[in-house]
Chains A and B, each alone.
Chain A
Amino acid sequence: MSNERVEKSPLPWWLAGLLLGGVQILAVAISKPLGVSTQFVVVDTLALKQSSPEYVAQHPVIGSEKYQKLGGGFWLDVGLVAGAFIATLVIGRWRLQATTAWWRANRNGKAAVGARLLTGFIGGFLILLGARLAHGCTSGQFASGWAQLSVAAIPFTITLFGFGMLAARIMYPKTPDIEA
């Protein structure tokens, strides 16, 4: 179990951070600060509009026009998927996989994959519910929040990383090998 190994990042931390910061500056200069999670609500709203248009129309949040059209934010998310896909192909790291090194270092056997997928679904549910309650996720509220010195970024950072570290501690007590 201890021979699970975490692969090195394609780019070193300083270059990775400079690139991401550069994308943020570009976004603030010609569009608006980076943000990802709103579009999940937009897509759900468009689906709900098909089945229950009256519900959507009288809703205090998704009743507004912003949630009822696929705008720039949606295309940013589509671009994000495309960009990551191109990057994996370019460096030859595209791989079909269902678990992670940290997962396998802590759980093995037949049920490990199923448990990972179930954890993923529950985690994903909490991630988006939390992100929308907080008016933004790790991009819109944390990274863009600090870039703009937003007051909201302070309480957000405290619970995001506090509970993140706690959940990771419970879920992943054992450490795999980490490639230096």
Chain B
Amino acid sequence: MSATTISFIIGILFGAALYLGGLANPDKIVGTLRLKDFHAMRTIAVFVLVGMLGTWILQLIGHANMDVKPAEVLPVLIGGALLGIGFGLTGYCPGTGLACVAAGRFDALITVIGMFFGALAYIYIIPTISKPLASVMNYDKTTLPEKTGINAAVFVIPLVVIGVLLLWLTRPGSKSTTVKPI
């Protein structure tokens, strides 16, 4: 199979999982950001923890294809804030926005059109602002194990164990918590 075909198939699986998992649903995202509906938060937590555990194991056996993004702290903070505002206003992000267009949401289509204009704005402003933004607190493409010299296991194992424990203790329907069953 060509790399293009592989990417296309991964995309199909990702789009289907985003929709069936309830993340490609702006109501679920807004509910989580408002701390009223914990479905999306729990789904995202499992998604991240499983991905972290799997990526670590793949690295141990030498089969991980890594793509770490540059840790330019200032643009990452500003970009995260702008993305966060759009995320909170609409309940969409780039992946779930595309998936929601496919699900028949017209507002998602308008949001995706806005995204193309946002990308255009990025193209026009980045030559002017990239150098000053990236000149402070720039750690480049680095991971926590590389940066600290601590073995990845020391991050992955406690994060996964604590995460699973917290998800278990706060599970919907659990008598030991006051969390509403979602």
* A interface residues, Cβ below 8 angstroms from B: 6-11, 13-37, 40-41, 43-45, 48, 59-62, 71-73, 75-88, 91, 93-102, 116-117, 119-152, 155-172, 175-176, 178, 180
Contact = CB atoms under 8 A, between A and B. Distances in A.
A31 B141 CA distance: 19
Interface string B1-14: 00111111111111
A60 B70 CA distance: 16
Contacts of A32: 65-67
B115 interface: yes
B139 A167 contact: no
Interface string B151-179: 01001100000000001000010000000
Interface in B20-54: 20-28, 30-31, 33-39, 42-54
A54 B132 CA distance: 25
A13 B94 contact: no
Contacts of B107: 97-100, 116-117, 120
A11 B20 contact: yes
30 contacts: A10-B22, A17-B47, A20-B21, A24-B47, A24-B54, A25-B54, A26-B13, A75-B7, A78-B11, A80-B11, A95-B103, A97-B105, A120-B90, A122-B114, A127-B86, A127-B87, A127-B115, A129-B118, A130-B78, A138-B95, A139-B95, A144-B51, A146-B52, A148-B68, A150-B141, A151-B144, A151-B147, A158-B80, A160-B83, A160-B84
A116 to B, nearest CB: 5
5 A-B pairs with the lowest CB-CB distances in the bound complex, closest first: A17-B46, A79-B11, A21-B50, A124-B114, A9-B22
B11 A127 contact: no
B76 A152 contact: yes
Contact of A135 (B10, B15, B79, B145): B79
Contacts of A152: 68-73, 76, 139
A131 B14 contact: no
B136 interface: no
Contacts of A79: 7-15
Interface of B: 3-28, 30-31, 33-39, 42-55, 58, 63-73, 75-108, 110-123, 126-127, 130, 133, 139, 141-145, 147, 152, 155-156, 167, 172, 180-182
A82 B104 CA distance: 12
Contact of A123 (B77, B79, B90, B127): B90
A83 B7 contact: no
A124 B92 contact: yes
A175 B67 CA distance: 39
Given A32-B67, A126-B118, A151-B71, A16 B21 contact: yes
Contacts of A162: 81, 84
Contacts of A81: 11, 15, 98-99, 101-102
A35 B67 contact: yes
Given A130-B79, A151-B144, A168 B130 contact: no
B145 to A, nearest CB: 6
A101 B5 CA distance: 37
Of B94, B100, B114, the most chain A CB neighbours within 10 A belong to B94
